[in-house]
Structure 1
Amino acid sequence: MSGIYIHISFCKSKCFYCDFFSVSNLTHVEKYISALKKEAVERKEYLHNKPVSSIYFGGGTPSLLNTEQINEILEIIYAHYKISECPEVTLEANPDDVSINYYKEILSAGINRLSIGLQSLNDTDLKLLNRRHTSAQAMKAVVEAQEAGFRNISVDLMYGLPGMSLQGWEENIEKVLALNVQHISAYHLSIEAGTVLSDLLHKGQLILPTDDDSLAQYKILVKHTKEKGFIHYEISNFALENYFSEHNSSYWKQTSYLGLGCAAHSYNGISRRWNVADINTYIQNTDDRKNFYEEEILSEKDKLNDYILTSLRTIWGTDMNYIKKTFPEKYFKTILKNIQHHLMAGNLIQSEEKFILSDSGKFISDAVIRDLIVV
């Protein structure tokens, strides 16, 4: 199986925490879609004719597209790729862009899963993040999606925000769970260079929560989702049974994926590619059939580190038998040695020949993974 990611690089405004590539000038949308379609045709060999089980519109803000534009892109993909019988087709949506009529239209166009960017159901948080919607709009966006017929809805949440109390975070989660969604992606705020929040932090105008507060918020998240039957199948992702994200899982299981659009990344087990992060260059080069991406051929060490980085984030864990059979023995011995400290510290759990992050290990996963990466 394989997946296709489609990056819609446009936003009406920039969120204060976001460092993803996007532009606010919407005049190039039609030219951009034309370029996307050309790229889809030209790069169809990258997936080696593997069936596509996931198509994902990400951004940016894909919900800025109208139904006709979504149809154009999907028609090209269905015409040039081998699509599985029941693919997961996801569209990221901002609450202030959508309506029940829009939902009905995109459902008819073939979108069968939504990822709605709530981030918070607290208006103070939303203003801090420079989100365009209110908490009321966020809840309405979910309810109307359900009324329109969507039965597979994911929402994004953020914790570790400045000024967020434990009570406020708990209320956030309870409100989201009451909406009866099938999937939750919850991310701790990360301050990225070049963002507005980074500037505020450096000016001393932003106070971040302590590590203890962040850990307490994480524990509240895990507790409440578990009580409602959600499976914590990846560090930041929680889903009801049979609702794991096909798109997200493709990254963690080394499934090939093709990224279309500005700044999109691709992976096929042999190489990684990343497209130019410039709208004008992307459009011009696709028109002129010039190169618009860079490529890295993966070494054995790259492939091993990719496997550790992705597999250890999941409930399926890192399979040492797979490492032993697939990679040079010296790498296997190095990892086995470095893993012992985290086993003794309780950060990792051994299940037969697999190593899985414990609940405490998940919160410090970056440090654990860093110790296991082969340099």
Structure 2
Amino acid sequence: MAGIYIHIPFCKQACHYCDFHFSTSAKYKDEMVQALLKEIVLQKSYLTNETIETIYFGGGTPSVLSADEIISIINTITEIHTVTADAEITLEANPDDLDRHKVNAYRHTPVNRFSIGIQSFFDDDLQWMNRVHRAAEAEASVKRAQDAGFENITADLIYGYPLLTDTKWKHNLSKIFELGIPHISAYSMTVEPQTALAAFIGKKKQPPMSEQQSAEQFNMMLDAMQANGFEQYEISNFCKPGRYSRHNSNYWRGVKYLGIGPSAHSFNGETRQWNVANNAKYIAALTQNTIPAEVEVLTESNRLNEYIMTSLRTVWGLDINKLDTIAPGASTLLLKAARPYFDDGSISRTGSVLTLTPHGKLYADNIAAALFF
């Protein structure tokens, strides 16, 4: 089984914190869709006849595409690959795109899951982030999707930024629970280089993010999620029982995936490749039947570190026996490196499986890096 990711590199405007590849001009949207279709055909052998069980439209803002454009992409995938009848097909969407007409149009596509970028239910926060939508649209978009029959919905929230008081954070969480959404992704605000937010902080127009605030709001979230019946199955992802994101869960479990579109990454267990992060260059290359990608053959260390980074973030944890299937003796070395984290209560062990404790989850990236080979 494998997954396919489709990167749609268009947004109406740039969020101040975002460093994903996108353009605020949709001038070449038609050409981009044709290039995506061409790449799907040219990349048909990358997954070596794996059956596709998930398709994920990310970005950017995939909801700028029409229902017909979505259908054309999915049809091309199904012509090239075997797709399971119950495939999870997710579309990331901004609340302002999900008006009644568009939601109903998407209902006539194979899309069966929405990922809605809410981020906050406060207008001043959304304006600070430079989001297009407003709080009322966020709530209305969820209800419109539910009314149209889309029950499988996930929503994004952000915490740990200066405007977000604990009271506001509690309200955002409560509102999400009230809406009956079965899956929630919540991320601490990070300051990425070359973003507007980084520039504002560098010029002292904005205060830096507070690690203490982020940690406190993370712990508040853990309590609220547990009280409302949500399982934390990955550091930033929570769901009602059994309602995992199948696509993202496969990333964390090392399942193969193909990335289509500018800046998209692919992984087949032996190599990793990534497309050029430039719309014009991407379209030009595909026009010439060329895939504009760089390829890296994964070393033993690459494969070990990939598994450590992804598995430790999840409820399923890191199985030290799997390390030895990649490199004999690797488990012994890892357990030695992990000893300080056992001692300080950051990592727990059940049989052959290591998982992060609630304390360890606050330092997940640092712990994983310390265990790298």
TM-score (norm 2): 0.98
One-letter code aligned to 2:212: D
**Structure 2 unaligned spans of 5+:** none
**Residue identity opposite 2:347 in structure 1:** L
Give the partner amino acid of 1:339. Answer: A
In the other structure, the counterpart of 2:123 is: 123
Separation in 1, partners of 2:6, 2:209: 34
Q: CA deviation at 1:101?
A: 2.5
Counterpart of 2:131, as a letter, is R
**1:367 corresponds to:** 366
Alignment map for 1:348-359 (pairs within 5 Å): 348-359=347-358
Q: Name 1:185's counterpart in structure 2.
A: 185
Moved more, 167-176 or 210-219: 210-219
* Aligned 8 A contact 2:54 2:247 in 1: yes
Determine whether 1:16 maps to 2:5: no
Shift of 1:328: 2.9
Q: Deviations over 1:1-27 (max 9, x none)?
A: 100000000111110000100011111
| Contact 1:163/1:207 (8 A) holds in 2 | no
Residues 105-150 of structure 1 show CA distances to partners (whole Å, capped at 9, x for unaligned) of 2122111000000011111110110001111010001011100100
Asked whether the equivalents of residues 63 and 91 of structure 1 are also in contact (C-alpha less than 8 Å), the reply is yes
Where structure 1 has 5 or more consecutive residues not aligned to the other structure, the ranges are none
- The answer to which of 331-340 and 344-353 deviates more is 331-340
Equivalent residue, structure 2, for 1:333: 332
TM-superposed deviation, 1:85: 2.0
Instruction: Name the % identity.
Output: 39
Kept in 1, the 8 Å contact 2:303–2:326? The answer is: no
The amino acid that maps onto 2:59 is G
Q: Is 1:231 paired with 2:226? A: no
State the shift of 1:65 in Å.
0.4
In 1, the alpha carbon distance for the partners of 2:101 and 2:43 equals: 34
SS in 1 for 2:92: strand
Question: Displacement of 1:209 after TM fit?
Answer: 4.6
The aligned counterpart of 2:346 is 347
Q: Deviations over 1:9-48 (max 9, x none)?
A: 0111110000100011111001100010010011011111
Give the deviation of 1:172 after TM superposition.
1.0
Corresponding position: 1:212 with 2:206: no
Q: Distance in 2 between matches of 1:83 and 1:233?
A: 26
Report Cα offsets for 1:308-340 as digits up to 9, x if no partner.
0100100000001111233131x3222110111
The answer (yes or no) to whether the contact 1:9–1:60 under 8 Å persists in 2 is: yes
Question: Which position in structure 2 is the counterpart of 1:261?
Answer: 261
Separation in structure 2 between the aligned mates of residue 283 and residue 326 of structure 1, nearest angstrom: 38
Equivalent in the alignment of 1:300: 300
Helix, strand or coil at the partner of 2:151:
coil
Q: The residue matched to 2:226 in structure 1 has which SS?
A: helix
Give the secondary structure class of the aligned counterpart of 1:282: helix
Residue 28 of structure 2 corresponds to which residue in structure 1?
Answer: 28
Structure 2 counterpart SS, 1:194? coil
1:148-167 correspondence to structure 2 within 5 Å:
148-167=148-167
Distance 2:175 2:109 in 1: 30
The 1-side partners of 2:55 and 2:324 are apart by 33
Q: Aligned equivalents of 1:81 and 1:291: distance in 2?
A: 18
Q: What secondary structure sits across from 2:27 in the alignment?
A: helix
Structure 1 runs of 4+ aligned residues shifted over 3 Å read none
Amino acid at match of 1:71: I
1:100/1:147 contact within 8 Å kept? no
> In 2, Cα distance between the equivalents of 1:18 and 1:153?
22
Give SS of 1:248's match.
helix
Give 3-state SS (helix, strand or coil) of 2:208's partner. coil
Could you tell me whether the CA contact under 8 Å between 2:39 and 2:291 is conserved in 1? Answer: no
- Aligned counterparts of 2:112 and 2:337: Cα–Cα separation in 1: 43
Report the counterpart of residue 100 of structure 1 in structure 2: 100
- Cα RMSD after superposing both structures: 1.0
Distance between the aligned counterparts of 1:281 and 1:210, measured in 2? 39
Paired residue for 1:203? 203
Aligned residue pair count: 373
Q: Retained in 2: the 8 A contact 1:160–1:208?
A: no
Deviation at 1:303?
0.5
1:56 is the counterpart of 2:77: no
**Contact preservation (8 Å) 1:120, 1:158:** yes
Q: Using the TM superposition, give the Cα deviation of residue 204 of structure 1 relative to its aligned residue in structure 2, in angstroms.
A: 1.2
